[in-house]
Amino acid sequence: MTAENMSKDDWVSLFRDIGLDDTRMRQWHRTFEARHPDSHRNFLEWLGIPQSEINEIRSV
């Protein structure tokens, strides 16, 4: 697997492997969004997440 083909599920699996639960993952997204909103959007698009889900993730 290369960085070019990592999926949302791959990232969630990595987060789970290091002990992040749903609450901590939401915190990670909120921090990413607050500090770097354009980069966060680009990251979510790079993962191939549908726009409706991106909007939901960014609004949490």
Question: Are 53 and 60 in contact, with CB atoms under 8 Å apart?
Answer: no
Number of independent structural domains in the chain: 1
Helices 22-35 and 8-17: angle between axes, nearest 10 degrees: 120
Least Cα distance to 54 among 8, 11, 6, 14 occurs for: 8
Residue 1 falls inside a structural domain: no
Token representation of residue 38: 């354009």
Residue 21 falls inside a structural domain: yes
Range of the domain at 49: 7-59
**Tens-binned pLDDT, residue by residue, of the chain (60 aa):** 455 678 999 999 999 999 999 999 999 999 999 999 999 999 999 999 999 999 998 988
Residue 2 falls inside a structural domain: no
What is the structure's pLDDT at 2? 53
Alpha helices in the chain (DSSP H): 8-17, 22-35, 37-46, 51-59
Question: Are 47 and 6 in contact, with CB atoms under 8 Å apart?
Answer: yes
What is the structure's pLDDT at 60? 80
What is the structure's pLDDT at 5? 77
What is the structure's pLDDT at 45? 94
